[in-house]
Homo-oligomer: A and B are copies of this chain.
Amino acid sequence: MKKRPIKIAIIGTGWMGKVHLEAIRRLGYVEAVAIIASSQAKAQQFADEWGVPYATADYQGVLSDRAIQAIHVCVPNELHFRMVTDSLNAGKHVVCEKPLASTIEQGETLVRHAAATGLANCCFFNVRSYPHVRHMRSLVQAGELGELWALQGTYSQDWLFHDTDWNWRIDSGESRSFADIGSHWCDLAEFITGHRIASVCADLHTVHRTRKKPNNSIETFAGKISKPQEYIEVPVKSEDFANLIFRMENGAHGTMTVSQISAGRKNRVFIELFGSKRGMAWNAEQPDQLWIGERDEPNQILIKDPSMMDPAIREFADFPGGHSEGFDDTFKQTARQFYKTVQDRNAEVNYPTFVDGLRQLKVLEAVISSSRTRAWVDVKD
């Protein structure tokens, strides 16, 4: 079936802006006609380098262009609320990078707003779109895990390991590592298991209480390569490490760790599930490998292979077994699902929405509150 072309704009020229751009281009019927940055110069540079027809610092101007149907919001967190609100007001479908907003109240407002408009909305928890994440969820739904008993895991990185590592994210709010990557893990856990985190006991920790902020701005992760020369020593309040134990609504017990200071762990999104029938474990650093644990038979290692996936979710794997699919492919898959619903407003919503974004703001608030009070805290419903 031939798809109608869809024109979109991307706000944000950081690495997420670029990854979103490539992702939608792979779909074939979605065209990024405008790129928006905080300055005309930055926008133009991006447009020239990546071949976007129009560059601007005036996002309101773009919102007023009726030819544009959707907006990708790939900017620092504190701008999400305003830009998403404006985009919805302009009648645009919206893709927003996580976290959806800075507070639960903002998140609730956006959820209501989006619902009222009837526009497609996505909070971009891309990890959901790894083929093996979908596969694990299918297995759970088919009862292959049995009753969920326990889950464990970590989201560990090392790109903030040195006190000379810096990024805009460090300045960006009360919580950093948990907001930034911990929320990915919690969304993943709830998405795969179909159960919600009910109560948490957290211990947030700031290893580097001061950091050396460079005088120029630094792209996420880029600090590893381009070493800045001049610094300002600044105090840091937000955590770069967190431990969490939790209980889920069904009674399952969980543990997880979030770290951006763990030398050698590059982007280890690791999750283990144990149920009354078997176990499962997956690590985003080797996303094509799925471990399935058995008590009375050999364990399994499933190399991602569409022929062994539930037909209902087979479309999340584009390549045959052994042909690895990576981080960027999750962006393609998420975008593919999103634009399916833009094409056909009756299509199934098979991607994370603002509701999911709001959900993780609530988990995050409980985590912060628990760490501050050193007590178990229930997640608000």
Contact = CB atoms under 8 A, between A and B. Distances in A.
A303 interface: yes
A365 interface: no
A277 B253 contact: no
Contact of A296 (B284, B303, B308): B308
A162 B294 CA distance: 12
Contact of A265 (B201, B322, B323): B322
Interface string A135-149: 000000000000001
A300 interface: yes
Given A225-B307, A255-B243, A320-B221, A264 B326 contact: no
Interface in A133-180: 149-150, 152, 154, 157-159, 161-162
So how many copies of this chain end up in the complex?
A: 4
A51 interface: yes
A59 B301 CA distance: 45
A284 to B, nearest CB: 7
A319 interface: yes
- Determine the interface band of chain A, counting residues with CB < 8 A from chain B: 35 or more
A60 interface: no
A57 to B, nearest CB: 18
Contacts of A262: 150, 272, 274, 279, 293
B303 A297 contact: no
Contact of A267 (B5, B277, B320): B320
A244 interface: yes
Contacts of A49: 1
A125 to B, nearest CB: 15
Interface string A10-31: 0000000001011001111100
A67 interface: no
Interface of A: 1-3, 5, 19, 21-22, 25-29, 48-52, 149-150, 152, 154, 157-159, 161-162, 201, 203, 205, 207, 220-221, 224-225, 241, 243-245, 247, 253-257, 259, 261-268, 272, 274-275, 277-279, 284-303, 305-308, 314, 318-329, 374-376
Given A29-B51, A161-B295, A325-B326, 20 more contacts: A1-B49, A19-B319, A26-B26, A159-B321, A201-B245, A224-B307, A224-B320, A243-B255, A255-B256, A263-B274, A263-B277, A265-B274, A265-B293, A265-B322, A267-B320, A286-B324, A301-B301, A323-B328, A374-B375, A375-B375
